[in-house]
Amino acid sequence: MNTPSLDSLGLWLRGTSVYRSIVRHGSTETNRNRSLIVFENLFLHVHPVKVREKTLRFKHTYWLGGITIVCLVVLVATGVPLMFYYHPSVPQAYQDMKELKYVVDNGIFLRNLHRWGAHLMVFGAFLHMLRVFYHGAYQPPRQFNWVVGVFLLVLTLFLSYTGYLLPWDQLAFWGVSVGTNMAREAPVIGDKLRFFLLGGNAVSENALLRFYVLHCVVLPVVLFMFLGVHIWRIRKDGGVKGPSEDAPDVFHEDEP
Amino acid sequence: MSALPPLSPVESNDPVEVPRRVALVRPDARPSIRRSSDKFVMAYPHLIIREVILFQVVVIFLTIMALIFNAPLEGIANPVETPNPAKAPWYFLGMQELLHYFPPFVAGVLIPGLVVVALAVIPYARINLTAGPLWKGSDEKKTTLAVAGVASVLVLFFGGFQCWAAAVPTAAVAGAMFMARGGSNGGRWKQAMARLTLPQWIMTWFVVLATVLTIIGTYFRGPGWSFVWPWTRMVHS
Amino acid sequence: MSNIPPEELLLEDDDPSRRQFMNRLGLGACAVAAAGAGVVTLDFLKPKVLFEPPTKFKAGNPADYTEGTVRFNKEQRAFVIGTAGGVFALSAVCTHLGCITRYVSDEGVIACPCHGSKFDLEGNVTHGPAPHPLQWLEVAVDDKGELVVDTAVGIPHGKVFRV
């Protein structure tokens, strides 16, 4: 009783002029419409309409880049709600952690999800890099995309590191103290670099605010820009490349 | 080809008026055509359904982790009280372990900087593009000498700083390189090892080193960065 | 269909040097503007007033520092040590990576909890990865005869303050 009425509701919805103004393609039963799904959708059009079947196999990529991107989506989706309860000031930042943990509904769950998502993203990016290396997928024409990938890995580490300070607990404070003292060892600019990064001579409220802005605005924007280039170039360079033995793309002379 | 015809661009919105372009191709420079015997499938649904499933699997995994394990939260930051030991996040613990042996400039700036540069130039180094299996098609004697030489220099260097955490894995990887020699008629693992090129061996060395240092830094370091067994550390904290 | 004579559409340079000059002028202006914006931003990001705790602290009467006295000021991260010849102050910030060292009275050493560095009571490195001795700090006497240590001012190693 329920199902047919739902079906007819769906049918009616698809017939309305509003729906048809948003989704322009018809049913997904023809290849033409399946192509339209991909290239008429802003979010799907990073895909080609057709892909090599072998690139879908698990052992082709182990889906490691995909795992990293899913983590990024989870991190944005959990990070933004966490921002509603967070003040980047001392000692309020730490009080907010306690509030998230004990008072806010599901606050601890969101924080856990953000934390473990961040770890998995770093881990996934590392493994993705190793996969690409051992499969020789950095080879021409994919050289530049490999370099973009290295940038993305460094950005991921910076993102994770700037986020590490935000809870303002002992772990955060001393992890960042030790890390920024390493920057001091860089020749010539080391001391200045640290001063700029921390906004002072020691890890203090200024440093917390700077790391917060870097973590929530600057680094994500840069990361998304590089990620856009990374994904766009995958397609421009002929799709994902798997183990080298099954992808010898040979140039053939056309028969005369 | 004495005089080129005068160039006369036409400004028009009418496609019919825009002259067609004709390309002349010399017979010895025919454009090559990429041929592939690969089977193609539609991205929708084959690729997109897999992406959706991947998304679900990762989110479910993370949700379970988040429900079981709580993110750590220690006492409020106290600039005058250094916790003992003070540890960085896990992906920096390999570096922190190096800091125990080398001056900060070397372990904190030079080595990470070199690693990032080395990673970035991988696709532009000829050897990474052309290298064959290490023991194949090369002078075996020369390779033996080179591998043994470089490995012993590295082991002596790390040993000189008493950095056994790096010296031992280096020696182990060098040993594996020799084991791979003539391994093409061995077992599955030996065959896989025999296929590795020199750049791949170097990356393997880096990965093994980074993994060992990270594990030691994470599980085997206690107060004052002294060596402890993981189980005693648990009792301590 | 346009009626512009073809020769006028041809991008032929009747004065290439002038065009080149204008191009360079334009690009140069952009570069100067970008550099200026960069400098202003960097300057903006540099804090002008720091609300950091005062670097000078009072360390008590010089007569209290008999030979072998080691006092640790937690907030200021400094040791004040008495010797036969006078008093000197030592930064407690480890020269390795900035952890706060502690005085271990049983062993008579200053030890860092982070990476295992150890120092003797004059700040010299006796063990571990620290690259330099601990920083000696300026000691002075105020008008009431009390010792004043300034953690922001370093002095050469071994310069003991004579009382």
Distance between start and end Cα atoms, chain A = 66
- In angstroms, the CA C115 to CA C111 distance is 10
Check CB contact of C125 with chain B, cutoff 8 Å: no
Residue B97 lies in a domain: yes
Residue B160 lies in a domain: yes
Check CB contact of A89 with chain C, cutoff 8 Å: no
In B, minimum Cα distance to A120 occurs at B62
- In angstroms, the CA B81 to CA C100 distance is 7
Check CB contact of B6 with chain C, cutoff 8 Å: yes
In A, minimum Cα distance to B129 occurs at A139
A17 compared with A28, residue with greater pLDDT: A17
3-class state of residue C56 by DSSP: strand
- Residue C115 to residue B12, Cβ atoms within 8 A: no
Identify the band that residue B237 occupies on the pLDDT scale cut at 50, 70 and 90. Answer: very low
State the average pLDDT over residues A34-49: 88
State the average pLDDT over residues A10-27: 88
Residue B140 lies in a domain: yes
Number of domains in chain B: 1
**DSSP element (H, E) containing C103:** strand C102-104
A27 compared with B212, residue with greater pLDDT: B212
In A, minimum Cα distance to C99 occurs at A178
- From the list B36, B43, B105, which residue is nearest A47 (CB)? B43
Which of A45, A100, A115 is the best residue to mutate to test the B interface, defined by the most B CB atoms within 10 Å of its own CB? Answer: A115
CA distances from A75 to A121, A224, B18, B25, C14 (A): 9, 13, 51, 53, 59
- Residue A174 to residue B66, Cβ atoms within 8 A: no
- In angstroms, the CA A111 to CA A100 distance is 8
Check CB contact of B132 with chain C, cutoff 8 Å: no
Chains near C, with 3+ CB pairs < 8 A?
A, B
pLDDT over threshold 50, residue A248: no
Nearest alpha-carbon partner for A160 in A184, A176, A177, A146: A176
**Class at the top of the CATH hierarchy for domain A58-242:** mainly alpha
Length of chain A: 256
C142 to chain B, closest Cα gap in Å: 26
- Residue B46 to residue A179, Cβ atoms within 8 A: no
Identify the band that residue B34 occupies on the pLDDT scale cut at 50, 70 and 90. Answer: low
Residue B75 lies in a domain: no
Q: DSSP readout, B134-162?
A: TTSSS-HHHHHHHHHHHHHHHHHHHHHTT
CA distances from A139 to A29, A135, A226, C50, C141 (A): 38, 9, 19, 50, 69
Query: For chain A, what are the domain ranges?
Result: 58-242
- Residue A182 to residue B123, Cβ atoms within 8 A: no
Residue A135: predicted pLDDT: 92
pLDDT < 50 regions, chain C: 1
How is residue B180 written in tokens?
Answer: 């791979």
pLDDT over threshold 80, residue A124: yes
pLDDT over threshold 60, residue B101: yes
pLDDT over threshold 50, residue A253: no
CB atoms within 10 A of CB A2: 6
State the average pLDDT over residues B1-6: 57
Residue A247: predicted pLDDT: 44
How is residue C67 written in tokens?
Answer: 């030979």
Residue B78 lies in a domain: no
Distance between start and end Cα atoms, chain B = 87
- Residue C131 to residue B103, Cβ atoms within 8 A: yes
The residues with which A52 forms a beta bridge, in sequence order, are B40
Residue A250: predicted pLDDT: 43
Q: Provide, as residue numbers in chain A, all residues whose Cβ is less than 8 Å from the Cβ of C52.
A: 200-202, 204
Q: Is A54 within 8 Å of A48 (Cβ atoms)?
A: no
Query: For chain C, what are the domain ranges?
Result: 13-45, 56-155
pLDDT over threshold 80, residue B40: yes
Residue B187: predicted pLDDT: 80
Range of the domain at B175: 90-236
The residues with which C80 forms a beta bridge, in sequence order, are C71, C89
We find that the CATH architecture of domain C56-155 is 3-layer Sandwich (2.102)
